[in-house]
Amino acid sequence: MATFSRNQNYGLVVHSGLFGSITNEEVKNIIQNCPTRIDKVIIKNTTKLTQVDFSNLKEVSEINIFGNEVLERINFKDLETVYEGLYIGKNKKLSSISFSKLKKVRGGADPTHDRKREGLTIVYNENLSLIKFPELVKIGDNFDSYCGLNIYGNKKIVSFEFPKLVIVNHIVMEDNQSLSGFSLPELVIISHLEIVSNQSLTSFEFSKLTTTERISIQGNQNLNNFGFPELITVKKDGDYYYEGFNIHNNKKLTEFEFPKLANFDKLRFGREDRFGENNQKQVGNNNFSSSIEKLLKHFVEINLKDKEIQFYDYTPTEKTQDYINTLRSRNNVIEGVNDFIAEPLNKPYIEFITREKESYIDLVIYANNEDQQDVWIDLNCNSIREAHSQNT
């Protein structure tokens, strides 16, 4: 049985039960005389509703659009403020979400969890391909409010737009299988950032981000490059598993940059196969080696001290080994590195040795033959003798 009502605070609740058959016309009749400001818009579990039009609405306390089997279109073209949260989830047919004038979102409820999830959440919409919030500046009143941007489980999302977003507590981008790239160009400070298991993601950039407590980038199988050109601080007070800057299980990652990073406790890179496919020791991956070299050089130049950097079975170049040695001498802990060892010589070379207590000179030819024998030629005696090398 279908139920729908307008509450005393001008809120709209639309809910379709097991045998409900609420129609577009019925909803239209309910909302056509709504004022420009109402309390709640809750549209849940409808089975025949294909569209809703709130084109005159400017302010609302909460929006919750959840579990509607055939809903294809929603219209909030003049909405400017959501006071308690915006949640859009599990709408199988919804293909696009656009709030062209929305400037501010605050807290709200996530009906799939017992706890409150605040901010803007768009999850598990199977056919959603486009998300646009061209004027959105704030999610939450300030950085300290626990209001996040959560976009996950949308299988067909290709892109999203938040070109003016400045304030948000945290961002979670997870399991959006078709998302290929994105940019948040105005964001400066957030609490934490998670970019996880987006299988088509190849690149992203946060061009102005300077400060965050933690970053986790993991399980993005086609991620090739990313950039944090202004990032300075990745630091969180207290002990937490994801504390710091964590990069894991991104098999095709070859290029990255955070050239200003200076204030952090831990920087963690994942296993060897998490940086470049078929580059287990990374020496052959020129882009990766160049990114690491630039990063370590930067750390040396800023006199980095008392930090922890974790690799996993990383074999450095000779140059990066020099940087590693310098950083270790400044009380930095650098783990998971196969320290650079020069390649064995592939041809003989000659060395002259002057003996301090004797009047003659040895000419030593290091032959590098299979039995590790060197040939010594005594120039004074004109004799030849063989001797085993001693750790040459």
Q: Are residues 107 and 4 in the same domain?
A: yes
Rounded Cα distance, 251 and 223, in Å: 7
Quick one: tokens of 86?
């915006």
DSSP 47: S
User: pLDDT-derived band of residue 116, with 50, 70 and 90 as boundaries?
Assistant: very low
Quick one: tokens of 12?
């709209």
pLDDT value at position 315? 82
Is a pLDDT exceeding 80 seen at residue 40? yes
pLDDT value at position 238? 57
Is residue 186, in this structure, part of any structural domain at all? Answer: no
pLDDT value at position 13? 66
Structure confidence by residue, pLDDT tens digits, 245-273: 899 888 888 889 999 999 998 898 875 44
Q: Which of 109-123, 276-290, 360-374 has the lowest mean pLDDT?
A: 360-374
Q: Are residues 306 and 245 in the same domain?
A: yes
Q: 48 with 29: CB under 8 angstroms?
A: no
Please state the domain count of the chain: 3
Is a pLDDT exceeding 70 seen at residue 167? yes
Rounded Cα distance, 62 and 113, in Å: 17
User: pLDDT-derived band of residue 337, with 50, 70 and 90 as boundaries?
Assistant: confident
Is residue 1, in this structure, part of any structural domain at all? Answer: yes
Q: Are residues 1 and 113 in the same domain?
A: yes
Is a pLDDT exceeding 50 seen at residue 389? no
Q: Are residues 304 and 328 in the same domain?
A: yes
Q: What residue numbers bound the domain in which 144 lies?
A: 1-179
Is residue 18, in this structure, part of any structural domain at all? Answer: yes
> CB under 8 Å to 28, separation ≥6 — which residues?
53
DSSP per-residue codes, 316-374: --HHHHHHHHHHHHTT-EEEEE----PPPPSS-EEEEEE-SSSS-EEEEEE---TT-EE
Q: Are residues 198 and 260 in the same domain?
A: yes
Quick one: tokens of 133?
């919030």
Is residue 367, in this structure, part of any structural domain at all? Answer: yes
Alpha helices in the chain (DSSP H): 24-31, 286-301, 318-329
Q: Which of 32-36, 357-361, 388-392 has the lowest mean pLDDT?
A: 388-392
Is residue 142, in this structure, part of any structural domain at all? Answer: yes
Is residue 188, in this structure, part of any structural domain at all? Answer: no
- Number of residues written out for the chain: 392
Mean pLDDT in residue range 380-385: 40
Q: Which of 28-37, 75-84, 372-381 has the lowest mean pLDDT?
A: 372-381
Rounded Cα distance, 128 and 253, in Å: 27
Q: Are residues 209 and 148 in the same domain?
A: no
From 147, 179, 211, the end of a domain falls on: 179
Q: Are residues 62 and 21 in the same domain?
A: yes
pLDDT value at position 14? 60
Q: Are residues 80 and 125 in the same domain?
A: yes
Is a pLDDT exceeding 80 seen at residue 118? no
Q: Among residues 225, 224, 189, 230, which one has the least CA distance to residue 207?
A: 230
* 256-272 per-residue burial string, b: 16 or more CB within 10 A, e: under 16: bbbeebeebebbbbbeb
Q: Are residues 159 and 225 in the same domain?
A: no
Rounded Cα distance, 18 and 82, in Å: 30
pLDDT value at position 145? 65
pLDDT value at position 28? 81
In the chain, % of residues over pLDDT 70: 71
Q: Are residues 201 and 152 in the same domain?
A: no
Rounded Cα distance, 96 and 100, in Å: 12
In the chain, % of residues over pLDDT 90: 49
User: pLDDT-derived band of residue 170, with 50, 70 and 90 as boundaries?
Assistant: very high
Is residue 187, in this structure, part of any structural domain at all? Answer: no
Beta bridge partners of 88: 65, 122
Q: How many CB atoms lie within 10 A of CB 280?
A: 15
Rounded Cα distance, 17 and 176, in Å: 30
What is the number of alpha carbons within 13 Å of residue 192 lying toward its C-beta? Answer: 19
Q: 308 with 264: CB under 8 angstroms?
A: no
Q: Among residues 63, 61, 89, 92, which one has the least CA distance to residue 76?
A: 63
From 179, 210, 243, the end of a domain falls on: 179
Scanning the structure block, which residue is given the tokens 């294909």? 50
pLDDT value at position 240? 46
Q: Among residues 171, 219, 184, 215, which one has the least CA distance to residue 199?
A: 219
Q: Are residues 255 and 198 in the same domain?
A: yes
Is residue 184, in this structure, part of any structural domain at all? Answer: no
Helix axes 318-329, 286-301, angle to 10 degrees: 30
Q: Are residues 75 and 159 in the same domain?
A: yes
Indicate the pTM of the whole model.
Answer: 0.78
Rounded Cα distance, 220 and 200, in Å: 7
User: pLDDT-derived band of residue 141, with 50, 70 and 90 as boundaries?
Assistant: confident
Q: How many CB atoms lie within 10 A of CB 157?
A: 27
